């Protein structure tokens, strides 16, 4: 029999949440009104000095003073708003992108011209006073509700002679109490709506803009994708080590034992000798296939000695001459290095299979923060990046795009074919 579990009710939680929201509204009132005196000062200065034809420098000085004070107190008010939300409702307002460090006049101008600062000024100078009006209205509703709901307490606090001489107060007090209870019922809803409105305004004007949010999202996605690529590359290296140290060594041992059996056991029947010869041949073929598989996963020479040695090994195994020129002052990241290796290896394999070339050139250089890989051949050309069943260039392009690299293939009919790859790496 299935038992139905009812949600556990925590006594006092709705009242505690309403209390926190009301405290948030009350604490926001002085912060919302903090800039109002400065702007009243500005308005009064303008009203008093402009009709009097005051000198322009004096006028600009007196007008700029409240504006500068507003810019000075804006970061402090913003910090107070963040602390208010964190302390009373446990919410951390997102922070906009900070301007670059520096203490010279250029950095000061950069800080004063950021959109984030002027959005904060707009919040404290425009949205803040409007929200303060709503704060006062909600707090007034709470005050009226509490006083009206407890009207009988206030009546019994009056002198007894008044209660005796004016007995009609009971009916009026009943209506007032009912109205107070209705306002008490409405108060949490008004407070919740105001808190949502204030939170939305704070997130929009005190937090990052939509462009900054998108930039942060793109950066987070790029970082997570880089982590996935690094994890996949590390997993390939682990598989390569396991195959090299495990299955490959067992196959080598098996091939050696079969070779010893074939050479030492001379009195075996012919059928048994044929079986041993066949097993020895298949063991050697399995070792060769496993070597190719391990090399395709992640060659050990790439991890131990870098791109130059790994690409030289690829070129040495091809039936056509390949010139390899690698000029790297320092090794790139393992992920970028592995992608460069596989791009060159696959491109040279395509040259041998499809291009009918007599020679090929591989050039790897690092220019600033970009790893430039160029593979050229003198073959028949006609390579198609969009071809589904031939060259595999589309797969190379996807592999390069996984690290925000660029892949281009120029292969006119008749040749030559030039594949150019740019991979980003740390400068």
Is 9 contained in some domain? no
390: pLDDT strictly greater than 60: no
Q: Examine the domain organization and report whether 65 and 198 are in the same domain.
A: yes
Determine the pLDDT at residue 9: 40
The CATH number of residue 314's host domain is 3.30.565.10
Same domain, 118 and 259: no
Computed on alpha carbons and rounded to an integer, the radius of gyration of the chain in Å comes to 39
pLDDT value, residue 281: 77
Answer yes or no: is 345 within a domain: yes
Whether residues 188 and 243 fall in one domain: no
Q: What is the per-residue pLDDT for 58?
A: 61
Minimum mean pLDDT range among 11-15, 123-127, 313-317: 11-15
Residue range of the domain that includes 220: 214-297
Q: What is the mean pLDDT of residues 10-36?
A: 80
Residue 3 is assigned to a structural domain of this protein: no
Are 348 and 249 found together in one domain?
Answer: no
Angle between helical axes of 56-88 and 36-49 (0-180°, round to 10): 170
Residue 50 is encoded by which pair of tokens? 């402009």
DSSP 8-state symbol, 298: -
27 domain residue, yes or no: yes
Nearest to 405 by CA among 226, 284, 277: 226
2 assigned to some structural domain: no
- Residue 91 has a pLDDT of 82
- Are 171 and 52 found together in one domain? yes
Last residue of a domain, one of 176, 206, 236: 206
**What's the CA gap between 49 and 60, in Å, rounded?**
10
CA distances from 345 to 239, 255, 296, 317, 351 (A): 19, 29, 9, 11, 10
**Residue 12 in domain:** no
Contact 207, 182 (CB under 8 A): no
How many domains does the structure of the chain reveal? 3
Structure confidence at residue 137 (pLDDT): 92
Q: pTM higher than 0.85 for the full model? A: no
Taking the C-alpha atoms of residue 82 and residue 28, their distance in angstroms, rounded to an integer, is 11
240 and 314 co-located in one domain: no
Residues 176 and 53 in one domain: yes
pLDDT in tens, 257-316: 777 777 777 676 777 777 777 787 777 777 777 666 665 556 767 777 888 888 888 888
Q: What is the DSSP string of 329-383?
A: SS---HHHHHHHHHHHHHHHHHIIIII--S-EEEEEEEETTEEEEEEEE-S----
Across the range 182-192, mean pLDDT stands at 89
* For the chain, the helix, strand and coil percentages under 3-state DSSP, each to the nearest 5: 70, 10, 25
Which of 7-16, 85-94, 221-230, 277-286 has the weakest average pLDDT? 7-16
As a whole number of angstroms, the distance between CA 226 and CA 350 comes to 28
Asked if residue 162 and residue 52 are part of one domain, the reply reads yes
**Domain check: are 78 and 150 in the same one?**
yes
pLDDT tens track for 30-88: 988 888 888 777 777 666 665 555 555 666 666 677 777 888 888 888 888 889 888 88
Question: Quick one: CA torsion of 396, 401, 404, 406, rounded to 10 degrees?
Answer: 60
| Sign of the four-CA dihedral 111, 113, 118, 119 | negative
Number of residues assigned to the chain? 427
Question: Does residue 120 belong to any structural domain of this protein?
Answer: yes
pLDDT of residue 5: 41
Q: Which of 144, 171, 206 is the last residue of a domain?
A: 206
Residues 142 and 254 placed together within one structural domain of the fold? no
The overall average pLDDT reported for the chain is 77
Q: Which of 253, 277, 297 is the last residue of a domain?
A: 297
Residue located via tokens 């101008």: 109
Alpha helices in 115-168 (DSSP H): 115-122, 128-149, 151-156, 160-165
The verdict on 282 and 392 lying in the same domain is no
Q: How far is CA 120 from the centre of its chain?
A: 24
Q: How many angstroms separate the CA atoms of 88 and 17, rounded?
A: 9
First-to-last C-alpha distance (Å) of the chain? 66
- CA 259 – CA 279 distance, rounded (Å): 10
Residue 13 lies in a domain: no
If asked whether residues 104 and 196 sit together in one domain, one would say yes
């Amino acid at each position: 029999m299935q038992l139905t579990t009812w949600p556990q009710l925590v006594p006092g939680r709705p009242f505690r949440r309403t209390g926190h929201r009301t405290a948030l509204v009350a604490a926001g009132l002085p912060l919302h009104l903090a800039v109002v005196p400065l702007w009243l000062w500005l308005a009064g200065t303008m009203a008093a000095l402009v009709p009097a034809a005051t000198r322009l420098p004096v006028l600009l000085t007196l007008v700029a003073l409240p504006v500068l004070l507003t810019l000075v107190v804006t970061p402090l008010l913003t910090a107070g708003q963040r602390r208010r939300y964190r302390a009373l409702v446990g919410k951390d307002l997102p922070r906009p992108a900070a301007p670059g460090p520096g203490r010279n006049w250029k950095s000061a101008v950069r800080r004063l011209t950021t959109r984030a600062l002027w959005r904060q000024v707009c919040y404290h100078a425009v949205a803040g006073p409007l929200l303060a009006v709503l704060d006062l209205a909600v707090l007034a509703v709470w005050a009226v509700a509490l006083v009206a709901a407890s009207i009988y307490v206030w009546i019994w606090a009056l002198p007894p002679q008044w209660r005796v001489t004016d007995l009609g107060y009971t009916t009026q007090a009943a209506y007032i109490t009912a109205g107070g209870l209705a306002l008490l019922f409405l108060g949490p809803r008004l407070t919740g709506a105001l808190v949502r409105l204030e939170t939305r305004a704070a997130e929009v004007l005190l937090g990052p803009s939509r462009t900054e949010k998108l930039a942060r999202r793109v950066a987070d996605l790029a970082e997570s994708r880089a982590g996935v690529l690094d994890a996949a590359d590390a997993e390939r290296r682990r598989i390569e080590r396991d195959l090299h140290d495990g299955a490959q060594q067992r196959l080598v041992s098996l091939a050696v034992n079969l070779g010893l059996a074939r050479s030492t056991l001379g009195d075996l029947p012919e059928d048994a000798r044929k079986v041993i010869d066949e097993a020895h041949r298949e063991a050697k073929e399995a070792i060769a296939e496993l070597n190719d598989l391990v090399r395709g996963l992640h060659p050990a020479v790439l991890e131990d000695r870098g791109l130059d040695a790994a690409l030289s090994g690829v070129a040495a195994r091809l039936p056509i001459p390949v010139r390899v020129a690698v000029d790297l002052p320092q090794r790139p990241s393992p992920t970028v290095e592995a992608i460069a290796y596989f791009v060159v290896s696959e491109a040279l394999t395509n040259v041998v299979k499809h291009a009918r070339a007599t020679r090929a050139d591989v050039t790897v250089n690092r220019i600033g923060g970009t790893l430039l890989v160029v593979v050229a051949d003198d073959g028949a050309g006609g390579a198609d990046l969009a071809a589904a069943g031939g060259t595999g260039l589309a797969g190379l392009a996807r592999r390069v795009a996984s690290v925000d690299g660029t892949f281009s293939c120029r292969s006119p009919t008749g040749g030559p074919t030039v594949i150019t790859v740019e991979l980003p790496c740390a400068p």
